[in-house]
Structure 1
Amino acid sequence: MAFEPPRRLIRALGETAPDGDDWLAKLPEAAERAVAVRGLTVERVQVPGGRSSLVLLVRGAEGAPAVLKLAPPRARPESERAALAHWGGLGAVQVREGGDEEGVLL
């Protein structure tokens, strides 16, 4: 899977976080690993995307559509994961996987 992070994300992280460049440099490898481990097929990168994370539209091994989100630690993805798990899909997306990897939500 070859992709470029959306320009909006690159600009935002470059403007606000000195560690953003390091995370962005590792992002393609982290995304490839997250996709491979879960047996996902990437349909496309969500563009223009957000200012704090990378969102990939994917399909699971069973063919169901899903979203894979990769966020740097400063975006506090563990808080988002906890909130989404608490809501359990009621009025928000349902977390399909708890996410053992830091910063990865499916």
Structure 2
Amino acid sequence: MDERLHELIREAVRSVPRGRVATYGDIAARTGASSPRIVGKVLSEDGHDLPWHRVIRATGRPAEPVARRQLELLRAEGVLADDGKVDLGQYRWR
């Protein structure tokens, strides 16, 4: 992956406001990444200083390895989940 795309992804994630979520696909579309998986790769390797918890799957569910922590962080920002699923109609950032 080129450095420019990497930085575009980081900036897009950084711009998701508190109390909102975006999907991996939303971030990919916003940055021109060819796949939502690229967004996940950037977050897993270089997202510790970003609001990574605001990026979720298109299903509204968080990624399994970090689901509990992600839902805790989202809840602290006012994003509620029902049975582990965030209502994208209510909380999705556009």
TM-score, structure 1 length as denominator? 0.27
Q: Which has the higher strand share?
A: 1
Higher fraction of helix = 2
TM-score of the two chains, using structure 2 as the length reference = 0.29
